[in-house]
Amino acid sequence: MKFFIDTAEVSEIREAAMTGLVDGVTTNPSLIAKSGRNFLEVVAEICALVPGPVSAEVTANDFDTMLKEGRKLAKIAKNVAVKVPLTVDGLKTCYALAKEGTQVNVTLCFSAAQALLAAKAGATFISPFVGRLDDIGTNGLNLIADICTIYRQYPNLKTEVLVASVRHPVHIVESAKMGAHVATMPPATLKQLFNHPLTDKGLAQFNADWKKTGQSIL
């Protein structure tokens, strides 16, 4: 499974990239607003830090403007994945950009039927939002299972399942077990993946035992 970082804070991306665990980045208008910086400048800076896909979202709702925005975003760097909403005009834009060789991330997916449409439109990634489904009393992981099952039936569909709205490590582990290709997560959630009390306990014991030897490797 590939790990994407869901943030527009360049300092967080730089720190996460140093682990060697980051395969890409996702941003959205809300994250850009939190950063307080110029959108195009932020995208260009992120693309220079991470060699993998960097999702940059269009802000228009109509096809003609979405396509213009998408083409402008795609020119920022080769690793830009233009992010479009799962609407009729969004899928039209996806189809047009995909034919031009641009990576497209179709976002705000909440059903398997929508995911099938996105794949047929040539999406590089489909972003189902598990956390938001959980918020309304639905098990978001069931959607991941359904999409992965459908995509496996049709090898000609090349769209990757990008698990979004991740709230905790369980979302990531369970999605990986289902065969999802990517999980995008806030930096804090990535750090949670490292944590286990037995790791901390074992390290403390090793350190205590080593100290007793009075030795130094350096």
**Catalytic positions, written as ranges:** 83
Amino acid at 178: M
Give residues with Cβ within 8 angstroms of 200, minimum separation 6.
Answer: none
Cα separation values, 111 from 39, 107, 130, 199, Å? 29, 12, 10, 38
Enumerate helices (H) and strands (E) in the chain, giving the number of each: 11, 8
- The label of the residue with tokens 């978001």 reads 140
What is the Cα–Cα distance from 131 to 145, expressed in whole angstroms? 14
Amino acid at 110: F
- Range 195-200, long-range pairs (CB < 8 A, 24+ positions): none
Element (H, E) at 70: helix 63-74
Task: Give strand ranges (E) for the chain.
Answer: 2-6, 24-26, 54-57, 80-85, 103-109, 125-128, 160-163, 182-185
Beta-carbon count within 10 A of 115 CB: 27
